[in-house]
Structure 1
Amino acid sequence: MPRPKVHDESLRDRLLEQAGQTLSAQGLAALSLRKLAAEVGTSTTAVYSLFGGKPALLKALVDEAFHRMGTHLARVQPGDDPIDDLVALGFAYRDSALADPHLYDVMFGGVVGELPFEGETAAAAAEPFGRLIRFVERAIDRGALRSDADPGTVSLGLWAVLHGLVSLQLRDFRLPAAADPSDAFETVLRTAIQGWQAR
């Protein structure tokens, strides 16, 4: 009878989850493999067996963060109204951040700067912005956005709005008492898009 796998995918997922929470709450300096193993109830041997060391653990964590965001964004398929599609993509971005706030911090915190961006990691990191550009290009092609608009510039502006709104919500920034976060999010996002709409 084969011996059961001790270092399995479940343990790998738990290690990534805990590593993400540690990075989000305490920063990169607080992440040690010994402490991580203890928090998850395993050994450093298991961490090395699954990841090979701290750099590979960080790479796996960044890959997982971008993969999860990509999965959220991929659920939005083009519909009849390109403007509604952009709003839906914005909500998918927000949903991803709210579902995994610690991984959102990993993507846009200091961890990414510690890694070489190449191969699958670079592709995964480029996909969310690339998807936004494709939706913007479609909106321009269908006459919903100005024909003279540069897709990269529009996408950058919308991303900045999305990132700002999501970051404020994740940090419990107090909106006006009457503001529902979802309503406020949609109103601000639609207003940002409106600046690029065809007249």
Structure 2
Amino acid sequence: MATNTQRRDLTRDRIVKAAAGLLREQGPAAVTTRRVAEEAGLQPPALYRLFQDKDDLLNAAAEHVFAEHVAGKRTVAPSDDPVADLRAGWDTQIGFGLAHPYVYGLLLDPVRARDTPAQARGVRILAERVHRVAAAGRLRVSEERAVNLIRAAGTGTVHTLLTLPPGQSDPHLADAAFDAVARAILTDGPTAPARDASAVVAAFRTLVPELPRLSAAEAALLDEWLRR
């Protein structure tokens, strides 16, 4: 027989999935106690026992939708071209934002801004892809700066596309935005030291954790020097 904790978790999962469905299709205004309870096949008091208020439920619903998206990205095997994989990840993220405007709006609301588990996993996936680009000698800036530039450009691109007036949408804006970021962070190809020392430094930083005979403190100090 299920324990009280298991029953509680199952009930919470039903509620979150019901709220996520309403949020995806109709937006935050549709996520009311009555509607969610009806969709989950529960009585409204069940929601009050598990969530503090509507904002708490909305946050859980948005996290659920984004977690599904991130889990899907994890199943994509990397190719032999890290730059192509970075571009594919950009396209996927832009597509998610445009397909889920209500969820995206909640995740990026400055008033609600917080590092949720799914958002943290998403950033780690991006960082891993950037790391592979650096290891291939294609990165001209630090990995940290590349990640932040990609995130900033992606957020701005989705926000702009979602807020453009009807009839003024630019189907090529996302491509142009990625190309602009690519020019800022990528080299044209694996570079020799004389051509682009920054790319060599970025590539070498990816090897620091694997260097033999360095203590953790020494490796951290070397990485700091390289980053500077």
TM-score, structure 2 as length reference: 0.62
Identity, % of aligned positions: 21
Whichever residue aligns with residue 186 of structure 1, its letter is: D
> Of residues 8, 12, 20 in structure 2, which corresponds to 1:16?
20
**Alignment correspondent of 1:84:** 84
Ranges in structure 1 where 5+ consecutive residues have no aligned partner: 26-30
- Superposed displacement of residue 47, structure 1: 2.1
Matches within 5 A, 1:114-125: 121=116, 123-125=117-119
**Alignment correspondent of 2:135:** 141
Assess, with a 3 A threshold, how the Cα gap between structure 1 residues 22 and 110 changes in structure 2: closer, same or farther.
farther
Distance in 2 between the 1:160 and 1:175 partners?
A: 25
The answer on whether the counterparts of 2:66 and 2:119 sit within 8 Å (CA) in structure 1 is yes
Relative contact order higher in (CA < 8 Å, ≥ 6 apart): 1
Ranges in structure 2 where 5+ consecutive residues have no aligned partner: 1-6, 189-228
The answer on whether the counterparts of 2:15 and 2:47 sit within 8 Å (CA) in structure 1 is no
How many residues are paired up? 173
Distance in 2 between the 1:172 and 1:75 partners?
A: 33
The answer on whether the counterparts of 1:72 and 1:96 sit within 8 Å (CA) in structure 2 is no
- The answer to whether residue 122 in structure 2 is matched with residue 128 in structure 1 is yes
Whichever residue aligns with residue 124 of structure 1, its letter is: A
**Alignment correspondent of 1:53:** 52
Matches within 5 A, 1:1-199: 12-18=16-22, 21-23=26-28, 36-40=32-36, 42=38, 43-48=43-48, 51-54=50-53, 56-110=56-110, 112-113=112-113, 121=116, 123-146=117-140, 149-173=141-165, 179=170, 181=171, 183-199=172-188
The answer on whether the counterparts of 1:133 and 1:155 sit within 8 Å (CA) in structure 2 is yes
Distance in 1 between the 2:17 and 2:111 partners?
A: 18
- RMSD after superposition: 3.2
- Superposed displacement of residue 9, structure 1: 5.3
The answer on whether the counterparts of 2:157 and 2:174 sit within 8 Å (CA) in structure 1 is yes
TM-score, structure 1 as length reference: 0.70
Q: Which structure has the bigger radius of gyration?
A: 2
Assess, with a 3 A threshold, how the Cα gap between structure 1 residues 176 and 192 changes in structure 2: closer, same or farther.
farther
Q: What is the CA deviation profile of residues 159-188 of structure 1, one whole-angstrom value per residue up to 9, with x for unaligned ones?
A: 1111111111122356867x4x2x331232
The answer on whether the counterparts of 1:72 and 1:95 sit within 8 Å (CA) in structure 2 is no
Assess, with a 3 A threshold, how the Cα gap between structure 1 residues 175 and 72 changes in structure 2: closer, same or farther.
farther
**Alignment correspondent of 2:217:** none
The answer on whether the counterparts of 1:18 and 1:36 sit within 8 Å (CA) in structure 2 is no
